[in-house]
């Protein structure tokens, strides 16, 4: 409860700072009344953040007071070494994407995270990782046109064919 309440207050402060920065965006001489200008989207995003913060705060205040915890009750949070392991996998993704290319590195990232989270390796794990890698490659590289790393390995393999 306390974490949610403090997070709500923090989000309200962040929304206020975001809104104040949005109001400093200069308007164009070409702006017409009633037509969205350059500060419209940041203002809407600040309002959405306020709604989220108020909802989180209301939920925290409406929740029952926390019961006293026994010594064997643990919070549902990952310990620091576990979180650092996920960070390590993410850091290793960057050189893997440079060497192997985006789709292969993303496939390996998805498999590594699932195995790190103690998922038993079976055909579904590899099918989901393959589908995820293909989906994100199609989304970013083909649909959105955001070029992803080809890697050093793919051009080397293509030289043989």
Q: Are 94 and 54 found together in one domain?
A: no
Q: Are 100 and 38 found together in one domain?
A: no
Q: Are 93 and 121 found together in one domain?
A: yes
Strands (E) across the chain are located at none
Q: Which residues contact 20 (CB under 8 A, 6 or more apart)?
A: none
Instruction: Give yes or no for residue 75 having a pLDDT over 60.
Output: no
Q: Look at residues 36, 62, 88 and tell me which one is the last residue of a structural domain.
A: 62
SS (H, E, C) 33-94: CCCCCCCHHHHHHHHHHHHHHHHHHHHHHHCCCCCCCCCCCCCCCCCHHHHHHHHHHHHHHH
Q: Give the span between the Cα atoms of 91 and 80, in whole angstroms.
A: 16
Residue 22 pLDDT = 87
Q: Are 8 and 52 found together in one domain?
A: yes
Q: Are 46 and 87 found together in one domain?
A: no
Q: Is residue 12 part of a domain?
A: yes
Q: Are 28 and 57 found together in one domain?
A: yes
Contact 106, 136 (CB under 8 A): yes
Work out the percent of the chain whose per-residue pLDDT is above 70: 88
The residue behind tokens 């709500």 is 8
Work out the percent of the chain whose per-residue pLDDT is above 90: 32
Domain that holds residue 93: 80-157
Residue 161 pLDDT = 65
pLDDT in tens, 24-65: 888 777 777 777 777 888 888 999 999 999 998 888 888 756
Taking residue 25's Cβ as centre, other Cβ atoms within 10 Å add up to 14
Q: Give the span between the Cα atoms of 9 and 78, in whole angstroms.
A: 24
Number of domain units in the chain? 2
Residue 67 pLDDT = 63
Residue 133 pLDDT = 92
Q: Give the span between the Cα atoms of 96 and 85, in whole angstroms.
A: 16
For residue 2, give both structure tokens.
């306390």
Residue 92 pLDDT = 92
Element (H, E) at 87: helix 80-100
Q: Is residue 35 part of a domain?
A: yes
Q: Is residue 72 part of a domain?
A: no
Q: Are 31 and 57 found together in one domain?
A: yes
Residue 28 pLDDT = 74
Q: Distance of CA 64 to CAs 2, 61, 77, 98, 128, Å?
A: 11, 8, 20, 50, 39
């Amino acid at each position: 409860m306390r974490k949610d309440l403090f997070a709500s207050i923090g989000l309200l402060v962040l929304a206020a700072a975001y809104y104040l920065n949005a109001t400093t965006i200069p308007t164009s001489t070409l702006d017409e009344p009633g037509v969205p200008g350059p500060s419209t989207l940041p203002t809407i995003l600040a309002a959405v953040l306020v709604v989220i913060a108020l909802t989180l705060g209301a939920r925290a205040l409406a929740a029952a007071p926390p019961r006293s915890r026994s010594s064997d009750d643990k919070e549902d949070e990952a310990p620091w070494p576990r979180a650092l392991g996920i960070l390590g996998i993410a850091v290793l993704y960057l050189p893997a994407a440079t060497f192997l290319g985006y789709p292969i590195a993303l496939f390996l990232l998805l498999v590594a995270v699932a195995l790190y989270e103690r998922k038993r390796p079976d055909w579904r794990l590899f099918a989901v990782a393959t589908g995820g890698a293909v989906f994100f490659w199609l989304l970013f590289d083909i649909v959105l046109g955001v070029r992803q790393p080809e890697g050093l390995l793919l051009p080397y393999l293509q030289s043989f064919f």
